[in-house]
Structure 1
Amino acid sequence: LQYNYDHTFFDVSIFLESDFDLGLLGPGDTDNQVFRIAIVPAEYGQGARFDRSNMQQVMDLLNVEEKDISRIILD
């Protein structure tokens, strides 16, 4: 089981991929999941040295604090 994503300039889609029937999954695998998505300006994409898999480093680079992050709940 793997959560994966696709994105465009306008949106992000998060979806599940697996080598088995996704209908067999319980709510623990699909409900109330939290995803952290960072939109990084292009000028940081090429020359900046930071670990893109480390959310704290990304937040430090962008001078963003946890309280500044919007939380979006989807039903």
Structure 2
Amino acid sequence: MKKIIPFLFVAVFGLISFSCVSDDDNQEYIDYDTYPVAIDVNNVNFEEINGVWQIARTFNTPIYDTDMLLAYMRVGTTNNNSPIWQQIPITQYLSDGNEVDYNFDFSRYDFVLYAGGTFDLFGTEFVNNKTFRILIVPADYGKNATVDYSNYDSVVEFYNIDDSNPTSM
């Protein structure tokens, strides 16, 4: 009987362990430390710093390592005056053969928006009075999210972001 007790203990422990594992393979990882937010950077001018056109902002509170930042530039409005957002990075091809590029990078503490071109951008509409929308969303571990990140409205819907009153920076 004494030899059977350790085997029963292992069997009961194994049964309890397996009963706690979800067998739903379609269950996605949910990042509970981030609440998706929208941030506006309104009507700003890029600054030329050491030959690089940029807009830098620092977060009041660092974001989590598991967060990602998506950047969109306002490129126009619809007939009912709703903004049209285009995901960055963007390359705009001009009719004269020149190009303007917009890009960004971010860390837990800040983000920087960049502009560059095949011509001098100083004093042009490409670096003055620009509006951007920044979305901070939880990164999805292990599985591809079923959202088109290039489509602003899809991202807002997927992450249930209230973008009616974004924070300004």
TM-score normalised by length of structure 1? 0.72
Structure 1 residues 19-38: aligned runs within 5 Å: 19-23=118-122, 25-26=123-124, 28-38=125-135
CA distance in 2, matches of 1:45, 1:37: 24
Q: Give the gaps of 5 or more residues in structure 1.
A: none
Structure 1 residues 1-75: aligned runs within 5 Å: 1-23=100-122, 25-26=123-124, 28-43=125-140, 46-72=143-169
How far the C-alpha of 1:10 sits from its partner, in A, is 1.9
TM-score normalised by length of structure 2? 0.36
Report the AA paired with residue 60 of structure 1: E
How far the C-alpha of 1:66 sits from its partner, in A, is 2.1
How far the C-alpha of 1:35 sits from its partner, in A, is 0.9
Task: Count residues in correspondence.
Answer: 70
Q: Give the gaps of 5 or more residues in structure 2.
A: 1-99
CA distance in 2, matches of 1:22, 1:61: 36
CA distance in 2, matches of 1:70, 1:45: 30
The range that moved more, 54-63 or 36-45, is 36-45
| Percent identity of paired positions between Structure 1 and Structure 2 | 33
Q: Relative contact order (alpha carbons < 8 A, sep ≥ 6): 1 or 2 greater?
A: 2
Give the superposed CA RMSD. 2.1
Asked whether the 8 Å contact 2:149–2:155 carries over to 1, the reply is yes
CA distance in 2, matches of 1:44, 1:61: 16
Partner SS for 2:102: strand
User: Which has more strand, going by share of residues?
Assistant: 2
User: Which has more helix, going by share of residues?
Assistant: 1
Report the AA paired with residue 164 of structure 2: K
Change (3 A) 1:39 1:70: same
Answer with 1 or 2: which has the greater Rg. 2
How far the C-alpha of 1:71 sits from its partner, in A, is 2.8
